[in-house]
Structure 1
Amino acid sequence: MDEIASNRLAWDTLAEDHYRHYKERIERGENRLNMHIREELGDLAGKRVAHLQCNVGFDTLALAESAARVTGVDLAPENVRCAQRLAEDFGIGNVEFVEADVCDLPASLNGRFDVAFTSEGVLGWLPDLDAWARGVRRLLVDGGFLYVFDSHPFYLAFDEDKLGRGEYDLAYPYFGKEPDVEDRIGGYASEPKEGVTSYFWMHPVSDILNALVGAGLHIDAFNEFSENFFDSGGHVLSPEKGLYELPGNDGRFPMTFSLRASA
C-alpha cells in the first residue's frame, strides 16, 4: 500500500469522531474561521470557492455563509460522507463535496473557482507540493487566488509535547525529505487511532513558495503568527482569536503562517 492510500484509510478512522465533534461545535455557535483568516481572506460574496482538504466540512460550512458556492475536496471517502451529513444537518445547500487527492485533482474541477482555500493541518499530508500547486492553478480562473493558513514548518521541527512544558527540542529535520511514519493517527476530537499507518512530510517555507511560483502563481502576501490552531499541550485558547497561545512564547518563534497567491 502506498503512502496516500494508507493516509486515506487512517483519516477514515477519524471521520465519525470529527463529525460528532464539529456538529456539537456548530450547535454551540462556534462555526467561524479564526481571526487571521477572517481578516485576510476578504469578502467572498458572489465567489466560487474550492476548499481543499476539507476534512468533514466544518470550515466549508463557515465559508458557505458568505460565498456563492463552496466545493469541499477531501481524500478520505468517510470524510466526504460525514461532510455531506453535516451540511444536511444544518440545511446548508450551497455546498458540494468531492472525493479526490488534491495532488491529482479531476479535470472536471479545472477553471471553476475564484478562490482556492486550504487551512489548519494540510500541507504536511502532501508528498508532492509541485503537483499540488499545479492542480491549484488549474482550478482557478485567471485573477483568482489561493489562500493558505497552516502550521509553520519551523514549529513542526520541534517536539510538540516538550513545547507545552517550556522545552525547546528540535526533534525533526527542517529540510527532511523522508516522511515521518507513525503506526497511528492523532485525533484532535478523540484519542489517537491505533492500527493504521500515517505519513507526514516536512516542507520548508522555500519549497512551499517555490512550488507555487513554479506553477505560475504570484505570491501576494506571506505572514507569520505566534498562535496555533490546536492545543498540543500547555496552550491557552483565545476565544476572540479562535486560536491557541503558548505561554512563554512571547513572539520567540512562529507557530503558523498564511499566504495568498494569485493566478
Structure 2
Amino acid sequence: MDLQVQRNRTVWERASYKHVREYDDLLRQAREGGSLFGRERDRLTDVLRPGPAVVHLQSGHGLEDVGLLRAGARSVVGVDFSRVATGAAQRRADELDLACRYLVAEVPGVPLADGCADLVYTGKGALIWMRDIQAWARDAARLLRPGGHLFVYESHPAVPLWNWDPDEPRVRADRSYFARSFVNDSFPADGAVEWQWTLGEIVTAVVSAGLRLVHLSEHAEPFWRPEGAEAAAWQGRLPNTFMLLARLPGEGE
C-alpha cells in the first residue's frame, strides 16, 4: 500500500468511527430492512430472485448488505479497508444472525477466489478511491461466475463540479470533469485524495474487462446529502447519480 493510499485509509478509518458512534441507529435501520434505494431493488429484482452469493466491494457500514439479503441474496461478503467499518458491520450481522461476513482488504486486490460471486455490488462513494479504474473492473469481473452481474449505484462523475449554493446551480472554479484527482473538502475531508473517472472511462473499463453492459442510467437525486444542506444542484436539473448493470457472459456465449 503506497503512501497516498495509506493516508486515505487513515482518513477513512477515522471517518468510520461514525459507524461505531451511531451503532444503535444503524442497528435499528438494519432491523427495518437496510438501505437499498427503490431503484436499486427494482433493477436487481431478476438478479436477486435466484438467491445469489454477493460480494460487496467497499462495503462501509454494510446496511446495503442487509437490503440485499432482504431482497433475496443468499449471502454477502463485504470488503472494506477500514477495520473499524468492517468490525462494526460484522458485529451487527452477528447480532441479527445475518449471512454476512466482512474482510479487511484493499480494492482492487480482493483476497477472494476467482468466480466466487453471482453478483458484485458496489458504489455510493466507492469509485472515488480507485486510482486505476481498469484494475478495479478486472478485479470485479474476476470475482464473477459466468453469467454473474456487476452492479454499481454511484455518485455521478460530474458531482465534484457542483457547488452547494442553495440559490442556483454553479460549477466550482477549482474543479474539472477531466481532472485526474482532487482533495476532498467535505466528508470525509482531512485531505483525502479522490480520483476522478468520467462516465465514459468507467463504462469502457467495465466492457474492457469482458462484461456486457445491460443497463446504464443517470439520475438527478444524490445518494447522500449533508445534514442541513439543500443545494440547488440537487433540485432536478443536473446528474447526481448513475446506475450500471453489466453481465459476465456464460460459457458458450
Structure-2-length-normalised TM-score: 0.86
Task: Confirm or deny that 1:56 pairs with 2:61.
Answer: yes
2:52 aligns with 47
1:229-250 superposed Cα distances (whole Å, 9 cap, x missing partner): 1114644xxxxxxxxxx66865
TM-fit CA distance, 1:225: 0.7
2:7 aligns with 6
Distance (Å, rounded) in 2 between the aligned partners of 1:218 and 1:248: 32
- For the aligned residue pairs, the C-alpha RMSD in angstroms reads 2.2
Contact residue 77 and residue 101 of structure 2 kept, 8 A: yes
Structure 2 runs not aligned, ≥5 long: 249-253
Task: Confirm or deny that 1:31 pairs with 2:31.
Answer: no
- Paired residue for 1:73, among 75, 79, 87? 79
TM-fit CA distance, 1:122: 1.2
1:255 aligns with 240
Distance 1:222 1:23, change over 3 A: farther
Partner SS state of residue 146, structure 2 = strand
- Farther off after superposition, 146-155 or 22-31: 22-31
Distance 1:22 1:63, change over 3 A: farther
Task: Confirm or deny that 1:111 pairs with 2:112.
Answer: no
Contact residue 169 and residue 232 of structure 2 kept, 8 A: no
What is the aligned-residue identity percentage?
Answer: 30
TM-fit CA distance, 1:56: 2.3
The structure whose residues are more often strand, as a share, is: 1
1:135 aligns with 139
Distance 1:30 1:111, change over 3 A: closer
Structure-1-length-normalised TM-score: 0.83
Q: What letter corresponds to residue 155 of structure 1 in structure 2?
A: V
TM-fit CA distance, 1:154: 1.6
1:218 aligns with 212
TM-fit CA distance, 1:102: 1.4
Distance (Å, rounded) in 2 between the aligned partners of 1:21 and 1:34: 20
Contact residue 113 and residue 140 of structure 1 kept, 8 A: yes
Q: What letter corresponds to residue 255 of structure 1 in structure 2?
A: N
2:198 aligns with 204
Structure 1 consecutive aligned stretches of length 4 or more whose deviation exceeds 4 Å: 246-250
Q: What letter corresponds to residue 130 of structure 1 in structure 2?
A: Q
1:127-150 superposed Cα distances (whole Å, 9 cap, x missing partner): 110110000010000110100001
Distance (Å, rounded) in 2 between the aligned partners of 1:98 and 1:165: 43
1:181 aligns with 183
Task: Confirm or deny that 1:16 pairs with 2:17.
Answer: yes
Distance (Å, rounded) in 1 between the aligned partners of 2:153 and 2:223: 10
Distance (Å, rounded) in 2 between the aligned partners of 1:6 and 1:135: 23
Structure 1 runs not aligned, ≥5 long: 236-245
Q: What letter corresponds to residue 6 of structure 1 in structure 2?
A: R
Contact residue 22 and residue 58 of structure 1 kept, 8 A: no
1:148 aligns with 152
Aligned residue pairs total 240
Partner SS state of residue 192, structure 2 = strand
Contact residue 152 and residue 243 of structure 2 kept, 8 A: yes
Distance (Å, rounded) in 2 between the aligned partners of 1:144 and 1:215: 13
